[in-house]
C-alpha cells in the first residue's frame, strides 16, 4: 500500500484550463468606399490594380451593432490607406465606453478583408456620410474623403451591380464613380484623384462569421483580401 500512497502524495496537480468567454459582436451596415483604380476596380475581381497600386478610403455606417454588450447603433467608423500606411477614424459622437468598443469592432471588421488588418492609429473624428438613390459620400473631418455618383445600367434607373467580389466582405455592391476624391492624414498619406472607382453595399458580420443578406445567417465565409496595395 506504500507505493499507491506515495503516488497519491506526489502526483502533480493540474489546474483546470482557463477559458475566456467568446467575444460577442455583430454589425450590420452600409460600406461606402472609393479607391484610386479605374472603374471597376480590378482588385475586386482578383486582378492587379489599375496603376499598380490601390489606395482607398472607406466608412462603415452602423445600422445595428454591438460589441461585448455595448450598443453602437448609428455610429460610424472608417479608414484611409495609401503608401504611408493605414489610418483609422472613430465617430466623435461616441461616449468613452462606445469609443473603446467601436475601435475593437473596427479591428474585427477590418480583419474580414478589404481594409488592411493589423495595427493602425485611431482618432476621434467628425465623420460625415451621405447616401441617396443617385450618389454617396464620406468625409473624415479635415482629412477629407470622396463623393461619388452611382453608375446606372442599361435601364437608366438601377445601378450596375457586382456580386461576390474577392476583396471586401460585401456580397452585393452597387458600382459608383467619384466626382471628387481628396484625402490626407496624419501618417502622410495623400490621395487626390477623380473619376475613379467607388462601391456601395451592405454587409452583416458577427464574431468570427459573416453572412450576406441574401445568404444564410451565421454561415462562415472566406476572409477577403485587403484592397489597398501600397505604391511601389
194: confidence class by pLDDT, cuts 50, 70, 90: very high
Q: Is the pLDDT of residue 78 over 90?
A: yes
Exposed/middle/buried for residue 53 (C-beta within 10 Å: 0-12, 13-18, 19+): middle
Rounded CA separation 83/7 (Å): 63
Beta bridge partners of 27: 65, 205
Q: Is the pLDDT of residue 177 over 60?
A: yes
Q: Which of 78-92, 96-110, 129-143, 194-208 has the lowest mean pLDDT?
A: 194-208
Per the rule left: phi > 0, alpha: psi between -120 and 50, beta: everything else, 99 is alpha
Q: Is the pLDDT of residue 213 over 50?
A: no
Q: What pLDDT, on the 0 to 100 scale, is given for residue 215?
A: 34
Q: What pLDDT, on the 0 to 100 scale, is given for residue 231?
A: 65
What is the rounded end-to-end Cα distance, in angstroms, of the chain? 75
Q: Any residues with CB less than 8 A from the CB of 210 and at least 6 apart, and which?
A: 112, 169, 203, 204, 220, 221
Q: Is the pLDDT of residue 35 over 60?
A: yes
pTM of the model: 0.82
Which whole number is the average pLDDT over 78-106?
A: 97
Which whole number is the average pLDDT over 22-48?
A: 94
4 vs 129, more confident: 129
175 vs 217, more confident: 175
Q: Which three cell numbers stand for residue 194?
A: 477623380
Which whole number is the average pLDDT over 161-172?
A: 96
Residue % of the chain over a pLDDT of 70: 80
Domain range annotation of the chain:
24-211
Q: Which of 14-23, 33-42, 202-211 has the lowest mean pLDDT?
A: 14-23
Which whole number is the average pLDDT over 28-40?
A: 98
The pLDDT mean for the chain works out to 87
Residue 104, number of CB atoms within 10 A of its CB: 15
Q: What's the pLDDT tens digit per position in 96-137?
A: 999 999 999 999 999 999 888 888 999 999 999 999 999 999
Q: Is the pLDDT of residue 219 over 80?
A: no
Q: What pLDDT, on the 0 to 100 scale, is given for residue 33?
A: 98
Q: Is the pLDDT of residue 13 over 60?
A: no
Rg of the Cα atoms in the chain:
22
Amino acid at each position: 500500500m506504500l507505493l499507491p500512497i506515495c503516488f497519491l502524495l506526489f502526483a502533480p496537480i493540474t489546474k483546470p484550463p482557463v477559458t475566456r468567454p467568446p467575444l460577442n459582436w455583430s454589425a450590420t451596415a452600409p460600406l461606402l468606399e472609393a479607391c484610386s483604380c479605374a472603374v471597376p476596380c480590378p482588385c475586386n475581381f482578383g486582378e492587379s490594380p489599375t496603376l499598380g497600386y490601390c489606395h482607398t478610403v472607406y466608412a462603415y455606417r452602423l445600422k445595428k451593432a454591438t460589441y461585448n454588450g455595448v450598443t453602437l447603433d448609428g455610429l460610424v467608423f472608417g479608414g484611409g490607406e495609401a503608401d504611408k500606411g493605414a489610418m483609422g477614424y472613430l465617430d466623435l459622437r461616441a461616449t468613452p465606453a462606445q469609443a473603446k468598443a467601436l475601435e475593437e469592432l473596427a479591428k474585427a471588421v477590418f480583419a474580414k478583408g478589404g481594409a488592411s488588418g493589423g495595427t493602425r492609429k485611431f482618432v476621434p473624428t467628425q465623420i460625415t456620410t451621405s447616401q441617396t438613390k443617385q450618389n454617396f459620400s464620406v468625409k473624415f473631418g479635415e482629412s477629407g474623403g470622396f463623393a461619388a455618383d452611382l453608375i446606372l445600367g442599361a435601364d437608366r434607373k438601377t445601378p450596375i451591380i457586382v456580386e461576390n467580389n474577392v476583396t471586401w466582405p460585401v456580397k452585393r455592391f452597387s458600382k459608383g464613380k467619384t466626382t471628387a476624391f481628396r484625402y490626407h492624414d496624419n501618417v502622410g498619406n495623400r490621395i487626390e484623384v477623380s473619376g475613379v472607382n467607388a462601391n456601395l453595399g451592405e454587409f452583416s458580420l458577427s464574431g468570427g462569421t459573416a453572412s450576406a443578406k441574401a445568404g444564410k445567417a451565421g454561415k462562415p465565409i472566406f476572409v477577403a483580401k485587403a484592397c489597398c496595395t501600397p505604391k511601389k
